[in-house]
Structure 1
Amino acid sequence: MRENTGVVLWILVIAFGVIWVLQDAGTFDVVGNLGNRLGSVDGDIITVEEYQQAVQAQLDAYQRQSGGEVPPQIADRIRDQVFDQIVENRLREKEMKRLGIDVSDQELVDMVLGDDPHPLIKLYFGDGQGGVDRAALESFLANPDANASWIQLENILRAQRRQEKLDNLITATVRIPEAELRNEYLRRNRKVDTRFVALRYAALPDDSVQVTDRDLRNYYNEHREDFRRERSYTLLYVTLPKVPTAGDTAAVVNDLQSLREAFARTDNDSLFLARNGSERPFTDAYFRRDELDEALAEAVFDDPRPGELIGPIFSGDLVHLVKILDVRPAEETAVRARHILFRAPEGDAEARAEARRQAMDVRRELLRGADFAEMARQHSADGTRARGGDLGWFGPGRMVEPFEQAAFNARVGEIVGPVETQFGYHLIQVTERADKEVKLADLALRIRTSIATLNEIQETLGDVQYFAGESGDFRAEAERAGLEVRTVQVQADQQFIPGIGNSTTLRNFLERAEPGDVSDVIELDEQFVVVQLETVTPEGYRPFEEVRAQIEPRVKNQKKAAIQSRRLREALAAHGFDGLAAALPGAIEQTATGLSYQSVTVPGLGREPAFVGTALALNEGDVSDVIEGNNAAFVLQVTRVEEPPAPTAADLEQLRTTLLRQRQNLVRNQWITALREEADITDNRRFFFQ
């Protein structure tokens, strides 16, 4: 049966499988009752056709822009976005009707013929100078054959103006008062220098605090929401990548071979490349040795002759058939070189002298016949040592100037140096020099996974899915197919799944699956996957025993923070800020300069937003209270305040625009979120699309 699975499955499908499965699952009943209702918003139906047309429009737009097929996961994302947009449009339309928002005929006339026409009118009837060609516009309006186009344009203009009115109404209350604007400018551009004394929590050993079971349970009860969990799933899954086979590669090579004779004969290389789907379009440019992929360069520059056809050449996921159109002396020489670097920091005279001495010692060994590659592996202080110092090919402008001058002036095989650069001292040997450049026609075809290979991959996973469903032993069936079973935990609302990615199809499966159920083969952008739902954990709070290990370090940190804060307060009261560090063994005394609105971390303390916020709120000379931060308790003093220059009108206007846009977006998002929460929204897509 295993050997004839495909035949058996097709017989079952043709005979009774599909009907029996659908009837047993109640799918006919559900879809029959739903009719054409893909979803609804407060009873306003979203039809399947409406949704599919909108999705197809977005998929077509993506294809036009990318020039290729839409990957499955991108398609999933587009489908979700389209549904969300349709829902939002329904909610907006409902609100516009409730508020009586409409566009009068006179408004429409003004949008078309007024002093400041709508941007669409300027786009279609522009005069090339930012205005409108009135004659062309009036001719269009007077043409009876343009009625259908005019009605379509009118509907677009009305819809856009209604949306503008609604948007203006929603954001009408957003204002940025002048005083707030200036305060925000000062806050964003103010800088302060500080000095501080801190006691890190980690400086106290764990055995200096005692944590009881009561402490842990109190913390758990007080922070219960931290341990809330959504409904979650444990999944077992196997994947197979969409990797081309040797047969797929051979097919591309055969395609190139079949084009070889025609490619050699053609006089129009540009048209030939375009017609045959070359990934490398035609160009009149000439290429040096260092400007081509390594595999391509080795083949082309071995002995380049005009008219010669070279290939197939493999480079990455491309196979090339190259026609040499012309060869000429290079305008700029390229060289291949290797080096040995003796690193020394700039400004450190002693280190520089030592690096130069080492370089001279190695140079003498090289001149006595030592192998350059071996000496580079022993002595070079950079990443090229593993490959014997090889830097590959390079042309002018790629290296620092002293290195470049030495390399381009050297003879092949000559040991040059020590050459001093900002990195230290180099010994250089040029191994090859290229003094030619070529003009090419590069017929490059990408090695793609064929439909036959994709079908084979799907069949392999389809066997796992079928037999796992029959036997109930997902792991055994996956292992029998030679596949590694992976485990992942997923929350109900989680979009990205580690190892899998985004998949609406998978989320739909999880919504209706029971533990033990196995999914169909799901296609993703770069792989296929089959999933078994192992367990379902209901939403709620994680039990105390499960999170006990997480709570204990938090409680210890709290107790340490209390101890260090108390020590700081007592010392501050007794000795003042200036005597604080001396009175506290183990205290950190340090400065933090140039703190601003953009500052994220504090030197010596790490990420401490409370430190930055407190410092920016103080005046010069002010000392803060004791503050419990993320990593330490600290007291700070502001030693200098750098107030920003008085803002120009342009500065304030730019900031006003930024703040206004941020707040308007916030208001819009809050408004649409509130509408969604109040609305009765149904989504039946899972019954129509798998």
Structure 2
Amino acid sequence: MLALLRRKARSPVIQIAIVVIILVFIFWLPQMGGDGGPGTVAVVNDEPISTREFQRRYDDLLAQYRDQMGGVIPSELLEALGVREQVVNQLIQERLLLQSAGQTGLPVTRDEVRQAVHAMGEFSENGYFSLDVYRQTLAGARIGVQEFEGGLRTDLQRRKIVEHLVGFARVGEAEVRERFHRDHDQIRLSYLRLAVADFRAGISPTEEELNEYYQADAERYRGEARLRLDYLLFSPDGDSSLVVTEEQIAAYYRENHDLFNFPEQRRARHILIRSAAADSPELRENRREQLRGVLEQARAGRDFVELALLYSEDATATDGGDLGYFGRGEMVEPIEAAAFALRPGEISEVVETSFGFHLVKLEDIKSARQISLEEARQEIAQKLRAERGRQLAFARAGDVYEEVLTSGSLARGAEATGEKVRGTTLFKRSQPPAELARRQELVAAAFRLNQGELSSIVPTGDGGYAILFVPEREEPMIPPLAEIRARVAEDFINTRAREAARLAAEDTLAALTEGRELEAVAAELGQRVRQSGWFARATATTADLPSSVVEAGLRLSEKSPLPPRVQAADDHYYVIRLAERRPGDEGLFARWAEPIRAELLRAKQEALLDSWVKHLAGQADIRLTQGAF
């Protein structure tokens, strides 16, 4: 959540269109027909989807992926994500929804479009809608008024049909209670834990068994490539011998003034009660009131960190709602506005964002500060020396590289320029020699070379450069059994011990299924029966058991106290049995009833939309234009 809050706040583009609801991705695209006309990517019930519309949506989705991944996206990843197919699916689904809106009589009037435009804050001036701002904003975005309002009408109609459909979703009290008990009823397990190590005794493979085991899985013993490396290093000369003038320091300070300007930062905590735009007004008001109750507790003196742990529905709850330090423009605007309006120790009123409702508490303020030239002088001088040192190192590496190419030998090129070649013995990538252990970038570059191959000039992690040559390289091979006999024998013993432990666990489970007591079977195996603490699905992470065992335990009931199979985790096999079950604390139900209701409602709404679009797709005539996307 915290990363998403910050990412949303960094977007530099003013959003002037209503958010399009994107439905669950449906994999029926490859099965559609393919005879759309030129200039289209698809035809849905005789209504074309233009290549221009596709390209615009594709560019928007691509920009979202770039923002999420922080830069350029490799074409291979785009292909793996199926971005083009996603866009075509979205456009087809939306077209189907709009067509169904027309059929169900949900028109959008001119007044509704006008009211939607007037409600957009981007077109306001001094708190009121401004026709001049409206036209200027659209002109700046190169969008015509008719085009914008046509798109807005489409979005409003899409929203109408979606709201109409999700309005059929209902969640009853019995469903809420059933989910509450599923998540909060507590159980305790009796279990037998068989360690693989306990079954190693007495396993001693014969030569025939060892050879058979080795031959069956020889590939697992294939080694790593090894190589011998000759190389030249050109370290950056950034010491005090490089002269940096006062004029250069002052110029750097002027040109990079912002680097020495630290704006005010604030540290805040928050408590989030989630709410979605699709929630009913009654539910949203209920959630808001729930948070107002938390605010009353906080202002009455109850610890904010404790309240965040109890009530917040954000991942930061475990850290007491800590948002860390942030400056202006780094957090979603409502939270930022609240934090920058508070004094340390103060708590805001209820703040609304697209995630729901928040309380914000200001913890600390780091005042804005401008570092003076005098304070920054030493740091700037070091940076300038380091940069000059890198330039000199690169120039030196370039001169030597040219001599190496001219002479046809790394050794002769180095000798001619007064450099010293360094060398290694054969080594694996996972076990580089000590002198290269901290230069993994050089190790990686070396293993990209073939035998007899010279590298280009390779940057090093410390700002220097290197030239590499591989005089010898051994490709990975499978060693003969005689060389790795001890390793193969250890693997054989572990494999047999694991099999023995598994069989013992399965025999134990079978005996319990036939009616025997766990304690009696455990005694025959020389093991002891263990007891877990109480845990519920909502608190499963606190159980002192592997997650797979916890999941299996949560599926048990009084009618079915034994699982269908044993559980394996961390070189142990577990045979579990439900010991006790007790219902969740009724006092917790009041805390969790509304969040559970909201979660169930959203799931039903999504299922309704998904089902409706699939139905429409099954009845529709959808044709794709081959090669159009």
* TM-score after normalising by structure 2: 0.44
Greater radius of gyration (CA): 1
Could you say which structure has the higher strand fraction?
1
Q: TM-score, normalised by structure 1?
A: 0.41
